[in-house]
Structure 1
């Protein structure tokens, strides 16, 4: 059964959201020597920024990619959805694969002027995102400040690229194909045109910080358990946020599944109205927490 156009576009946007929410990925190039390209693949983790719909990649000056791409510009780039803090350990214990995207294309080195322009984009992004975090409301700061697992925001991880132009070569990654890889290892090809026109929503820059802030808070984790009862009619003993977007969020919950056995299962909760930004998302989450508690009280006769 073929996917509908709306489904294809939604998948393309998921890919763009993943790219916009992360700041590092695995770059793969073909090993080269004085005689030309070999068939062996060289891989290393690099930092990047999504700019004008394309990844701009910062490669350390001594990295072999700089030599390889002189001979052969072809490359692939794999980027996972961020799984900060305790969520990463949980997924490993479940032997669950990370949702990720795999891009193929060509890497094009930037000249000095374009490198300065790309670096300036990083500077503006860092200032803008840090300002939003500092100026966030009580609801927003309460969630964002709960993130304690190192640097979890995109801006915190890319700030080191500033004023270090001499230590990096900067490349534009021209995408020719995109593959979405789900948590079960299934591959879903994304039309290059759909990928090119898709735009990320406004949450991805704060995705990792939101996820970690919720999952590191005992109070909010208990609220997720209440969500399972109030909105999903599920009896849960634990829960984690798995991913967030403007339309809602996915979570992993340890729910009663036959007899007295508990199993981790994935659930989706959708907002009645989309969240326009990180502030709106946090406000909607707080409102849902209050509504869930009211429903539990009503059901228990305490309301």
Structure 2
């Protein structure tokens, strides 16, 4: 299950595409303007978006300052973080660690009424498709997702207000000119634009937040992560959380003891580990099946080690 070669991890372009598809909100930055033109100051606000044909389409409230800024200067930047729902967000904050994110620069271009209507219809189709898929999930998938906070981790639920709400929005297309991957320590890595356009987001991506939250909100599943650290990585973890996931595997934050120290609480630290699948998870169904199989396998191995199997 463990590996460190390139085949076990995604490319930076794939990571960026998956982050954009797994989230539904980000921070839009535009240049503050007045009657005399652009100023140096930056205006930032959280906005909701959806990705169509690899490009973010952003919904900006009618009275938001971005609508004034972009009339004078279309230049902008857009930052989207990998989902960090529920207890994971609190843990990352306590560690002073940031979720990985995508930082885009480009032009924020308003859509005319016809194109805006087309994008709004596309959003409705995506939401209906995801809601239908959720209802048709197998018992295995439902078991993994059942502990998740439904409303905070479902993209379709979070985007409903764009269609059903009373607030009016202007829709913009974000025309990318550059893309950076920002790691958990704040380090930036430039992403090849052609690679970003060529790669496709994983079918897992829209359900990433709900999967992560469902696992982290379940004590049984977190005990499973602790077993994974022991069985597959030979690491003794006192606690564990799912940090991120993709078709090739997942990253775990394990609470481990410093080497050469005692057993005091403050001598434990959170460390990131990578666990890879035997086979790539094509979709939510195959991801959950492999996760459950690994849990069963880990329990059997622990039982055999203790002479109970």
Short-chain TM bin? over 0.9
Where structure 1 has 5 or more consecutive residues not aligned to the other structure, the ranges are none
Alignment of 1:58-73 (within 5 A): 58-73=59-74
Counterpart of 1:171?
A: 172
Structure 2 segments unaligned to the other structure (5+ residues):
1-5
Q: 1:289 aligned to 2:295?
A: yes
Moved more, 57-66 or 115-124: 115-124
**Alpha-carbon offset, residue 7 of structure 1:** 11
Alignment of 1:125-164 (within 5 A): 125-148=126-149, 150-163=151-164
| 8 Å contact kept, 2:240–2:252 | yes
Residues 166/212 of structure 1: CA separation in 2 closer, same or farther (3 Å cut):
closer
Give the distance between the partners of 1:197 and 1:9, measured in 2 at CA: 14
Tell me how many residue pairs correspond in the alignment.
Answer: 299
- Asked whether 1:117 is paired with 2:118, we answer yes
1:262 alignment counterpart: 268
Please, what is the CA RMSD of the aligned residues? 1.8
Deviation of 1:166 (Å): 7.0
Contact kept in structure 1, 2:19 and 2:101, CA below 8 Å: yes
Alignment of 1:35-74 (within 5 A): 35-74=36-75
Q: How does 1:91-106 map to 2 (within 5 A)?
A: 91-106=92-107
Q: Take 1:241 and 1:31, find their aligned partners in 2: how far apart are those partners?
A: 39
C-alpha displacement of 1:165:
9.1
Write out the 4+ residue segments of structure 1 that deviate beyond 4 Å after TM superposition. 5-9, 163-166
Q: Using the alignment, how far apart are the partners of 2:19 and 2:102 within structure 1?
A: 8
d(CA) in 2 for partners of 1:148 and 1:13? 27
- The SS at the match of 1:151 is helix
TM-score (norm. length: structure 1): 0.95
Q: Structure 2 length normalisation: TM-score?
A: 0.93
Change (3 A) 1:81 1:9: closer
What's the CA shift for 1:297?
A: 0.8
Give the match's secondary structure for 2:84: coil
Any idea what SS the aligned residue of 1:211 has?
A: helix
| 1:251 to 2:257 alignment | no
- Kindly tell me: are residues 276 and 8 of structure 1, through their superposed partners in 2, closer, same or farther at Cα, counting changes over 3 Å? closer
**Distance change (3 Å), C-alpha of 1:91 and 1:252:** same
CA contact (8 A) 2:151 2:157 kept: no
Shift of 1:188: 0.3
